[in-house]
Structure 1
Amino acid sequence: MAAERERFYECEVKRRRVRATGGYEPFWKVKSVEEALGDNDTEFRCQFCGGAVKIFRRRSREGPAAHVEHKLKSDSEYCGGCIAFINATDGRSARQSSSPVQ
C-alpha cells in the first residue's frame, strides 16, 4: 500500500497593504493554491504551523489539483493539519514550525 501524502489545497500567501501612517506593511492571507498561482504570488507558508511549503502545480487534467506539501518532515509530523500528526498515536501535541516563514 502506498503511503498517504499530505496535500493542502489552501495556504497562506504574503501580501502588502497600505499603512494608515503611510508606506506598506506585510501580512499573510489564506488563499487556495490555484488562486495564489493565478495571482502570481511568490511567498507561501502553511496556514496551520507557518512552515515552509513546496508548491505542486496541476500538470494534467487527470492529475491531482494544485497543492502544497511541507518541505520539512519535522513540520509535517507536528503540524495540526497533517495526516502524519492526525494519525499519530503517541500523544504528541501540535506546535508551530521550528523554522517558520517570516
Structure 2
Amino acid sequence: MATKVEAKTEKLYECEVKRRRVRASGTGYEPFWKIKNVDEALGDGDTEFRCKDCHGALKVHKRHIANGPASHAAHKLKSDAEHCAGILVRAAEESRPARLSSTPVQ
C-alpha cells in the first residue's frame, strides 16, 4: 500500500544576487550574478535574487525574531523546486532529473 509522502520545508541559505561591474573596456557597467549568503545579501540591500542551481525566481524570508528561523529563500514556483538540483522537495521524487528553471531570472 502506498503511503503519503510529506513535503520537506524548503530553505535555501545561499542564492545568486545581481550585481554590476565596470566593463573590461572601461566604458559603462555590465550585470553579473554573484553567490551570496541570504542574510548577507539582505544586509547589503540587494534586491534581485535567483537560485544558484536552477536560476529560478526566489522568495526571500528575513529573520524577524531572535529565536526564529534564519533568513532564507524559497522557490516562487513549485515546478522549479521539484526539479532543482540543489533541493529535493519530496523523498519520492529523488529520481526525478534535475533541470534549469522553465522561466529563469535573467
| TM-score higher than 0.5 | yes
CA distance in structure 2 between the aligned counterparts of 1:44 and 1:18, rounded to whole angstroms:
20
Unaligned runs of 5+ in 1: none
Unaligned runs of 5+ in 2: 1-5
TM-score (norm 2): 0.88
The aligned counterpart of 1:36 is: 41
Report runs of 4+ in structure 1 exceeding 4 Å deviation. Answer: none
The aligned counterpart of 1:70 is: 75
Give the length in aligned residue pairs: 100
- Identity in percent: 61
The aligned counterpart of 2:24 is: 20
Does 2:58 align with 1:56?
Answer: no
Q: Secondary structure at the match of 2:80?
A: helix
The aligned counterpart of 1:92 is: 96
1:79 to 54, 74, 84: 84
Letter in 1 for 2:100: Q
TM-score (norm 1): 0.91
Greater C-alpha radius of gyration: 2
